[in-house]
Chain A
Amino acid sequence: MSKIKVVHYINQFFAGIGGEEKAHVEPELREGVVGPGMALNAGFKGEAEIVATVICGDSYFNENLEEAQKTILEMIKSQEPDLFIAGPAFNAGRYGVACGTITAAVQDELGIPALTGMYEENPGVDMFRKEIYIAATRDSAAGMRQAVQVMVPLALKLVNNEEIGSPEEEGYHPKGIRKNFFTEQRGSARAVDMLLKKLKGEEFVTEFPMPDFDRVEPAAALKDLSKAKIAIVTSGGIVPKGNPDHIESSSASKYGEYDISGFDNLTAETHETAHGGYDPVYANLDADRVIPVDVLRQYEKEGKIGELHRYFYTTVGNGTAVASSKAFSEEIGQKLIDDGVDAVILTST
């Protein structure tokens, strides 16, 4: 059998084009292997080979979802691959969305076996896990070797139409599929075993994890905007100039609470962004582009809103653990309640 032809998708960063300042680059098709594709190629040991690499900036992709998807699909199709691999995206959110979107489209529209890889907290996992195989990876590129070990065998099984084992065996994110099989013991015996283990405080594995419906009911709408106290919260990392609390540019361990009562308008002299996950040039010139203090202040003066809350709350949403964001927002929520805030405008970059 001839070598399996693979097309690989990566972002501008892994292609070595640049970081956030290059995140707007448009899709590009390159012959052969680029960047992390080399590790995958080595893993294939001659059985498969990356013949072409599609590169696209993460911001371009996410801001132009439909167009980017169309262009990239054409590029992939032109190479007539047997297999498509995207990423792995590790814990990079926009990259994860791009990898998931393209992988699903290649599988569904081109009918080509496709695979990507991500860390479990990447938003791309929940968006696409039901549709596609997403190999479970670590949260950063330091986990490339592990990613190759999972992705290569899984990709080869997909393209060779071999049976794919359970998520635990193969190392992909569960797709929510139930498969019937025969076991040695009947259900009642297994249930009693599990119960006994639970009573003894021993570890046991459930056969049906309860789905995690992590949703919050929409809060009631404001009755009277002109009496409402409105607060600004952002994951866009806006901080007073100099970042006095040293909020980290990624994987933030804290949030900031800053007084804006003296500001009608944020400027390059007063505020900046601490965020390391997007090109900071525009936000550093005018932070109102991320948190609209100028407009809300005007509306407060005109009486359109009751009051702009004295403090805004900010953190950096860049590879930040879900557990951290949850803890921050619960603390922030409590403070807002205590301060009588009626509604929140939350901005993200």
Chain B
Amino acid sequence: MVKGIEKYGIPVVHMCTVVPISMTVGANRIVPTIAIPHPLGNPNLDEKEEYNLRKRLVDKALDALVTEVDGQTVFE
């Protein structure tokens, strides 16, 4: 999916929990996430904390999109 879209020259940031799979499929900008069934959330947190957690992850993804990379890069 990532490669099929990035081929058009659109930068894609892949947000996923299993980073080795993302590396194997060839994503260039990778943001590690929380867990497989809830990558951008954590049901153990209260609503506000969970929203802030998601915000931090989206911030990382947006940072990745404005950062030039010359190969596969994980934005921890």
Interface residue ranges, A against B (CB under 8 Å): 20, 23, 59, 62-63, 65, 93-94, 97, 123, 126-127, 214-223, 225, 228, 230, 233, 235-236, 278-283, 285-286, 288-292, 294-296, 299, 304-305, 315, 317, 325-326, 328-330, 332-334, 336-337, 341-349
- A233 to B37 CA separation, bound complex (whole angstroms): 16
Residue from B3, B13, B36 in contact with A59 in the complex, judged by beta carbons closer than 8 Å: B36
Residues of B within 8 A of A348 (CB): 14-18, 21-22, 39
B66 → chain A closest CB, angstroms: 5
Are B9's CB and A219's CB within 8 A?
yes
B16 touches A295 (CB 8 A): no
A295:B58 contact, CB within 8 angstroms:
yes
Of the candidates B16, B24, B38, the one whose C-beta lies within 8 Å of that of A283 is B38
Flag B26-37 by CB within 8 Å of A: 1 or 0 each: 111100010111
Q: How many A-B residue pairs have CB under 8 A?
A: 195
* Contact A62 B36, CB 8 Å, known A221-B68, A222-B65: yes
Contact B40 A288 (CB under 8 A): yes
The smallest C-beta distance from A30 to any residue of chain B, in angstroms, reads 24
Residues on the A chain within 8 Å of B41, using CB: 282, 286, 288-290
Beyond A333-B5, A345-B12, 10 additional contacts (C-beta under 8 Å) are: A59-B36, A93-B21, A225-B62, A230-B65, A282-B41, A283-B37, A285-B43, A291-B40, A341-B10, A348-B21
Query: In the assembled complex, which residues on chain A have CB atoms less than 8 Å from the CB atom of B54?
Result: 288-289, 292, 294-295
A-B contact pairs, 9 of them (CB 8 A): A59-B35, A93-B21, A126-B24, A215-B3, A228-B65, A342-B11, A345-B12, A346-B1, A348-B16
- Cβ distance A38 to chain B, nearest Cβ, rounded Å: 29
B70 interface residue per 8 A CB criterion: yes
A296-B58, A328-B1 are known contacts. Are A219 and B10 too (CB-CB below 8 A)?
yes
B6 at the interface (CB under 8 A from A): yes
Q: Please give, as numbers and ranges, the residues of chain B lying within 8 Å of A228 by CB-CB distance.
A: 65
Instruction: Let me know if B35 and A63 touch, CB within 8 A.
Output: yes
Closest to B56 in A: A295
| CB contact between B5 and one of A127, A281, A288, A336 (< 8 Å): that residue | A336
Known: A283-B38, A329-B5. A97 touches B20 (CB 8 A): yes
Residue from B1, B12, B26 within 8 A of A219 (CB atoms): B12
